[in-house]
Amino acid sequence: MSIEVKDLSFFYNKGTSLEKKALDKVSFSIVKGEFVLITGEVGSGKSTLIRHLNGLLKPHSGSVKVSGINSTNRELRSKIGLLMQYPQRQLFGKTVFEDVAFGPSNFGLKDDELKERVNESLLLAGLCRDIADISPFSLSGGQMRLVALAGVLSMRPEYLILDEPTSGLDPENKASLFSTLKKLQTTGISVIIVSHQIDDFLPFANKVLFLKNGCVDFIGSPEEYLQSVSSPIPELTSLMKELQNCGFEVASDIYSVEDAFNEITRVLGSKEVYKDE
């Protein structure tokens, strides 16, 4: 099971005077269970690329295949969950329950099984099951995003695509999202995160794709990404590089608080070990 993108090119307003090439011969693959960070500046083609992964857009040339099937095939819809950049727009139900239950009930889940699936999805998204009976539109913007995430998770997709998932989230909801991602890392699901905020997501990724003007500028592991000269690096990596410049013998391929803490205390000769929470 994998996603194979081969020589994908796409134009907006093709054939008109406003024609704009948004993707230029993009190729890469994602195998099941990988956490991929797709990053790049605003306008580099990230959202256009992921709309091809779940078949919302069709390539003008090249191909996008999921397990060998063209991504526009409707059969794949339930396998690929997409949380859009403005997921509040994905909500429509009178209650949170109705929203989260929509996908699985269309696939025939009923009664207790459906209730269980909704509860499971709300909990996985970091929400309390008590909110199931209230209107999603009475919630804060951040919570609405998490409800939309629960709706996507309720389909138990094999691939989960999140477009700029932290934009507009307050620290509490951001923490909920990170804890959801940590849980998902243990389930074998593939997660594709689109974000220009590399600091937030590099610690989760095992593959990074950097887009520039619609082309793949870099693809590789987070460690290789940090060594690549032209791409932006996380603040923690810059800090470690600054410490190196000041004569401290620390490693610089570091991007999580935990690793930075351990590396600094190692160099300072302390035996303390950073503990999460």
Ligand X SMILES: Nc1ncnc2c1ncn2[C@@H]1O[C@H](COP(=O)(O)OP(=O)(O)O)[C@@H](O)[C@H]1O
Residues at the contact surface with ligand X, assessed by CB under 6 A: 12-13, 20, 22, 40, 42-48
CB of 193 to Mg ion, least distance (A): 12
CB of 130 to ligand X, least distance (A): 35
CB of 47 to ligand X, least distance (A): 3
CB of 266 to ligand X, least distance (A): 38
Residue closer to ligand X (CB basis): 18 or 128: 18
Q: Which does 190 bind (CB under 5 to 8 A by kind): Mg ion, ligand X, none?
A: none
Residue closer to ligand X (CB basis): 191 or 236: 191
Which residue is closest to Mg ion by CB? 47
Residue closer to Mg ion (CB basis): 194 or 219: 194
CB of 245 to Mg ion, least distance (A): 34
Q: Which does 42 bind (CB under 5 to 8 A by kind): ligand X, Mg ion, none?
A: ligand X
Residue closer to Mg ion (CB basis): 39 or 47: 47
**Cβ proximity of 4 and 29 under 8 Å:** yes
Q: Which does 207 bind (CB under 5 to 8 A by kind): ligand X, Mg ion, none?
A: none
Q: Which does 58 bind (CB under 5 to 8 A by kind): ligand X, Mg ion, none?
A: none
CB of 50 to Mg ion, least distance (A): 8
Tell me which residues touch Mg ion (CB under 5 A). Answer: 46-47
Separation between Cα atoms, residue 21 and residue 23, nearest integer Å:
6
Residue closer to ligand X (CB basis): 43 or 141: 43
Q: Which does 40 bind (CB under 5 to 8 A by kind): Mg ion, ligand X, none?
A: ligand X
Q: Which does 17 bind (CB under 5 to 8 A by kind): Mg ion, ligand X, none?
A: none
Q: Which two tokens stand for residue 42?
A: 């605003």
Q: Which residue has the tokens 């000041």?
A: 246
Residue closer to Mg ion (CB basis): 47 or 90: 47
The 3-state secondary structure of the chain reads: CEEEEEEEEEEECCCCCCCEEEEEEEEEEEECCCEEEEEECCCCCHHHHHHHHCCCCCCCEEEEEECCEECCCHHHCCCEEEECCCHHHHCCCCCHHHHHHHHHHHCCCCHHHHHHHHHHHHHHCCCCHHHHHCCHHHCCHHHHHHHHHHHHHCCCCCEEEEECCCCCCCHHHHHHHHHHHHHHHCCCCEEEEECCCHHHHHHHCCEEEEEECCEEEEEECHHHHHHCCCCCCCHHHHHHHHHHHCCCCCCCCCCCHHHHHHHHHHHHCCCCCCCCC
